[in-house]
Structure 1
């Protein structure tokens, strides 16, 4: 089962608090948006779930057999597009556990890469360099890599940021397909209207959990105002307090 539980999770970024004392559960097959003010710790929380950022206190509980099968799509800004890497090779990296660092891509895997690119509207782009792609095309390629992973849990960090409306609509359709397949999807998002329309559950974060549950019950004016007021009171130079669980 792809149940992910946060227990009094606190994480830090550059020695300062990013997420403090967050507890809750992402149920198997759930479709959850993580939202909140700038600096709320949304990406830090996703990184902690992905195992990229260690907890200061508390823990992220993930079944051991699930951890290596989680797909994580980082922000585009974290992808070095100056590397002379072909689109097909970028997508094939989704099967890294299969091909390793030296093994060649098999014919079966190449067919999988081709099918993933076709699914995101990039058929025929296999040999283009990633530095030649537009922002929307690059995001489609990253989604193709996630498709190839065939993961039960998918983590998306700002997947629709700075891309065109058509690409956003196409990729949202893929997210809906993943949810229909009972995969667990967790996405950091900024567009609250997009969240209201497409995501069933929402975690409103302002370094602490302000609300977590059905989207309509979370994205209320009262909760959003509370999160904004908390954000205005932040001291970004405050030391990290290690709180007891």
Structure 2
């Protein structure tokens, strides 16, 4: 479960919202939507412990170390870093106690799941945006954390990549994991995500996705 109490975040002295209180139950799948600059990505960083809130607190029912995985936007990744796609994906084994043979089998399976076969030795700078995004999602798959925070996971993905993404999101949800997904595709949110957290500068609304999005036809999200 994620419990936020009196939570405010943003730049020092410039909170993006009033103090917010909301709970996301364990095993839930929640979209986060809102206007540009409303603080969607920052909220995920606060939940992940990567950014300090201006006020309030976040309580998780998992340990921040190994209990959660955070998928940031690609712009925060240094594509000049000299590692291959396989090395990037294998970082998902961090903290794992699996044997080398099990890791090899698991890595092969995940690369196949995300249609990355044949790209294992390609450096990051040689990957397309969609290939890199699938590699980041494959790394997330290996981590097997019970709490997943995904910041625009559909970015740069083509039709095949998006189909793979939603397939895996539903699989993770069915496994009982808790997922929070920043997404600007309202049609996809309505189709795939049961509940949505709408962030506004006046507060927030947590409601079933279909109901909330129908009530907010002019919401600008990104």
With the length of structure 1 as denominator, give the TM-score of the two structures.
0.83
1:84 maps to: 82
Q: Which residue of 2 aligns with 1:175?
A: 169
> 2: CA distance between counterparts of 1:163 and 1:119?
15
Match in the other structure for 1:106:
100
Query: Which of 3, 6, 9 matches 2:7?
Result: 9
- Verify the 8 A CA contact 2:46 2:53 in the aligned structure 1: yes
Q: 1:14 to 1:126 in 2, by over 3 A?
A: farther
CA contact (8 A) 2:33 2:40 kept: yes
After superposition, the Cα gap between the structure-2 partners of 1:172 and 1:208, relative to the gap in structure 1 and judged at 3 Å, is farther
Within 5 Å, give how 1:1-245 maps onto structure 2. 3-13=1-11, 15-63=13-61, 65=63, 67-98=65-96, 106-221=100-215, 223=216
8 Å CA contact 1:4–1:60 kept in 2: the answer is: yes
Two-structure CA RMSD over aligned residues (Å): 2.1
Secondary structure of 2:154 counterpart? coil
Give the CA deviation at 1:14: 5.9
Q: How many residues align?
A: 220
Q: Which has the larger radius of gyration?
A: 1
Give runs of ≥4 in structure 1 deviating > 6 Å: none
Give 5+ residue unaligned stretches, structure 1: 100-104, 232-245
Question: Does structure 2 conserve the Cα–Cα contact (< 8 Å) formed by 1:21 and 1:208?
Answer: no
- CA–CA distance in structure 2, aligned partners of residues 66 and 31 of structure 1: 19
Tell me how far 1:93 sits from its aligned partner.
1.1
What are the ranges of 5 or more consecutive residues in structure 2 without an aligned counterpart? none
d(CA) in 1 for partners of 2:51, 2:200: 18
Whole-Å Cα distance in 1 between the matches of residues 80 and 172 of structure 2? 31
Tell me if the contact between 1:41 and 1:207 (Cα under 8 Å) persists in the aligned partners. Answer: no
Q: What CA distance in whole angstroms lies between the structure 2 residues aligned with 1:29 and 1:19?
A: 26
Residue aligned with 2:66, SS: helix
Compute the TM-score of the two structures, normalised by the length of structure 2: 0.91
